[in-house]
């Protein structure tokens, strides 16, 4: 866990080479962390998202796209789309895993060394937080092991409940 740091903060305030956004398939922004990232980063991020939309028609659940980061303290924003929780029988766990994995694919392709993740799907998409944290930690731990170029991963929790959960689960490793 040496390269993985737990932080309780607003992800737009944390410096890293890449910031992961919990976006939606339209890539046109929204509430939660997506809204915060577009607000803090400024209009260039949305302009790039619109170009991606024109080219490939948005971003499917479980996939990810990359833009620059505008005014954020970062070089890139990786926009991934987590699943909306329905009842647990709509492939939600696998799709959440895929969303994190898609980020690691872009991290590798772009030689990114430091990255901050929010708790994807655990807000407006209502994914149960403990299960989401378990999936996130498993994929992130593996991703860091598989890519020695990664120097630091920030797990940025905004709400107290997620922060406590991650703190507990990371203590168990």
Residue 135 sits in the site that holds ligand AR6 (CB under 6 A): no
Using rule CB under 6 A, residue 115 touches ligand AR6: no
Q: Which of 3, 7, 8, 30 binds ligand AR6 (CB under 6 A)?
A: 30
**CB of 156 vs ligand AR6, minimal distance in Å:** 5
Whose Cβ is closer to ligand AR6: residue 36's or residue 135's? 36
Binding marks (x or -) toward ligand AR6, 81..100, rule CB under 6 A?
-x------------------
Give backbone dihedrals phi and psi of 19, rounded to 5 degrees, phi first: -115, 130
Which residues are catalytically annotated? 34
Give yes or no for residue 34 binding ligand AR6 (CB under 6 A): yes
User: Please, what is the minimum distance in Å from the beta carbon of residue 146 to ligand AR6?
Assistant: 24
Does position 120 interact with ligand AR6 (CB under 6 A)? The reply is yes
Distance CA(96)–CA(111), nearest Å, equals: 23
Contact, 119 vs 20, CB < 8 A? no
Q: Which residues contact 152 (CB under 8 A, 6 or more apart)?
A: 3, 5, 16, 113, 114, 115
The residue within the footprint of ligand AR6, chosen from 6, 46, 52, 124 (CB under 6 A), is 124
**Quick count: other Cβ atoms within 10 Å of Cβ 143?**
20
Alpha carbon distance 79, 22 (integer Å): 6
Tokens representing 40 are: 């803090």
The contacts of residue 139 (CB under 8 Å, 6+ apart) are 97, 100, 101, 104
What's the Rg (C-alpha) of the chain? 15
List 104, 117, 158, 166, residue binding ligand AR6 (CB under 6 A): 158
Q: Is 80 in the site for ligand AR6 (CB under 6 A)?
A: no
In the complex, the residues that contact ligand AR6 under the rule CB under 6 A are: 10-12, 22-24, 30-34, 36, 82, 118-125, 156, 158-159, 162
């Amino acid at each position: 866990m040496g390269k993985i740091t737990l932080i309780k903060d607003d992800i737009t305030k944390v410096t890293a080479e890449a910031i992961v956004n919990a976006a939606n398939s339209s890539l046109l922004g929204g509430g939660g962390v997506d809204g915060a990232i577009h607000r803090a980063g400024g209009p260039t991020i949305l302009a790039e998202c619109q170009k991606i939309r024109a080219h490939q028609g948005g971003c499917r659940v479980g996939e990810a796209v990359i833009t620059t980061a505008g005014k954020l303290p970062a070089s890139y924003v990786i926009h991934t789309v987590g699943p909306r929780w329905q009842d647990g029988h709509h492939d939600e766990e696998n799709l959440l895993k895929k969303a994190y994995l898609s980020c690691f694919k872009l991290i590798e392709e772009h030689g990114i060394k430091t990255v901050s993740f929010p708790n994807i799907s655990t807000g407006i998409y209502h994914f149960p937080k403990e299960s989401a944290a378990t999936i996130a930690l498993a994929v992130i731990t593996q991703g860091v092991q598989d890519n020695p170029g990664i120097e630091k991963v920030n797990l940025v929790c905004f709400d107290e409940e997620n922060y406590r959960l991650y703190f507990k689960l990371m203590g168990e490793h």
